[in-house]
Amino acid sequence: MKIHRSLALWRTAATKRLLRRGWIMTSMAVALLSGCGGGGAGDASVAATESTDTDTVQAQAVPLSNDRARLGQAIFGDTDLSEPRGTACVACHQPSQGFAGNHGSRIGVAQGSLPTSLGLRNAMPTAYSARVPALHFVTADGETEAQGGHFWDGRVDTLAQQALGPLLNPLEMNNPSKRAVVDKIAAARYAPLFRQVFGATVFNDTEAAFASIGVAVEAFEREALQPFSSKFDAMVRGQVSFTPAEARGMALFMDPQRANCAGCHKMNPGSGKPQDSLFSDFTYYATGIPRNTAIPRNANAAFFDLGLCGPERAAPTLPTDVVPGVTIDNFCGKFRMPTLRNVAERPAYMHNGFFKDLSEVVRFYSTRASNPQRWYGPRGVPNDLPTHYLGNVERTKAPFNRRVGDAPLLNDGEVADIVAFLHTLSDGFRAP
């Protein structure tokens, strides 16, 4: 049985810790820890279970309720679905890393099934992605904003479509065709379950079978990857209290005159419902992230990743009701905000993976406007956008509305407090 080296991370102490917490369902662990090759799912009939510890905060990863979701779980962990074989969806969406991660890559962007295959972007977390709406544009209060869509650039509208993308991407799972993927599914140990769910003759129709793969993975992600089981969720339910540092961090996070994180990463802790705090409104921003020179494509100084404007997608068509004068050029260089849930578990941050430390992310937001030289060099000008798109970089909303030379928005203690709060967003919390 061939197991890709990165999947050894499933055997780490971190994964075992998550198992104890109830974040990873037992059947998922069985599938991914003990049955990687030959379909990687073990016995697809094994029912998922959750922790029976009565002290565990409720709403942990729920048991899978139907065959479609159990099938998606098997596909998610199948290391035979890449070319060469050895890389599964979980390689870039690891539970111990908040269902993010980059397959062992240390440069901030994902490595594919070949060691030389390095993509353009950091892997976006799949947890809570079922909450992302289709790409659309909203015009209100004199501003037109893009919202929703999957991937950093919103290039597909549904979770099922998103699940299929890596299978054919030469820099990810590298399959030559839809038929090649379908044939691998047909040979997997869970193929009988696939036929049971989608019909006895499903493998005869390549398009239908391939689309069904995405449908199954979506069913799994909808059921399993939005548990709302963090300390923040327990606090919202009135089950625990925050430490002083966590409480101070949340206050700064929500303060529109200070960090103002909640201005974009929407939350409503007073509702009593964790589902009202997704920590993103899924809009698009150009925040001026420094250029990640370790990305192979960035060796070409003339190359730029423009998010909504390409190169991974064609620029979308704007609706007719946009603010007068707004064109698609106003969206170039903008990327969709991911949820901050499980953000403290991720190994890299932002679309290009430039940041590897959460404290540095907070310091960037604190000082980008007041000390741009710290991030971009002597010129102090954002260095990962063409000059004619620099006007798209956010400068009007706090914390980016400060003047060059101002003191840092946050001191070191306040940075630490915000990071402490962000740690409360990690799923798998157990009440003391």
Does some domain include residue 186?
Answer: yes
Q: Are strands 136-140 and 143-147 parallel, antiparallel or unpaired?
A: antiparallel
The reply to whether 42 falls in a domain is yes
At CA 92, angle to CA 88 and CA 95, rounded to 5? Answer: 95
Q: Is the pLDDT of residue 34 over 80?
A: no
Q: What is the mean pLDDT of the chain?
A: 88
**180 inside domain:** yes
Average pLDDT, integer, range 228-242? 97
Inter-residue contact 246 to 420 (CB < 8 Å): yes
Give the tens place of pLDDT for each residue, 85-123. Answer: 999 999 999 999 999 999 999 999 999 999 999 999 999
Examine the pLDDT at 51 and tell me if it is beyond 80.
no
d(CA 105, CA 6): 9
Looking at the chain, how many residues does it have?
Answer: 432
Number of independent structural domains in the chain: 1
Q: Note whether residue 163 is domain-resident.
A: yes
Residue 46 reports pLDDT greater than 70: no
Look at phi and psi of residue 72 and say left if phi exceeds 0, alpha if psi is from -120 to 50, else beta: alpha
Report which residue type is found at 244: P
166 CB-near residues (< 8 Å, 6+ apart): 89, 92, 172, 173
- Identify the weakest region by mean pLDDT among 51-60, 312-321, 346-355: 51-60
Question: Can you give the CATH number for the domain in which 159 is found?
Answer: 1.10.760.10
Q: How confident is the model at residue 431 (pLDDT cuts 50, 70, 90)?
A: confident
> In the predicted model, what is the mean pLDDT of residues 50-58?
25
Q: How confident is the model at residue 375 (pLDDT cuts 50, 70, 90)?
A: very high
pLDDT interval class at 432 (50, 70, 90) = confident
- Whether 340 is covered by a domain: the verdict is no
Question: Worst-scoring range by mean pLDDT, 35-44, 230-239, 369-378, 388-397?
Answer: 35-44
Q: How confident is the model over 63-93, as pLDDT tens digits?
A: 688 999 999 999 999 999 999 999 999 999 9
Q: What is the dihedral of CA 55, 60, 63, 66, to 10 degrees?
A: 160
- 31 found inside a domain: yes
Please report whether residue 333 resides in a domain: no
Q: Has residue 5 got a pLDDT over 60?
A: no
> What confidence tier does 35 reach under pLDDT thresholds 50, 70, 90?
very low
Greatest Cα pair distance in the chain: 68
Is residue 191 assigned to a domain?
Answer: yes
Domain that holds residue 78: 5-224
pLDDT, tens only, 269-300: 999 999 999 999 999 999 999 999 999 999 99
Q: What is the mean pLDDT of residues 160-180?
A: 98
pLDDT of residue 6 exceeding 70, the answer is no
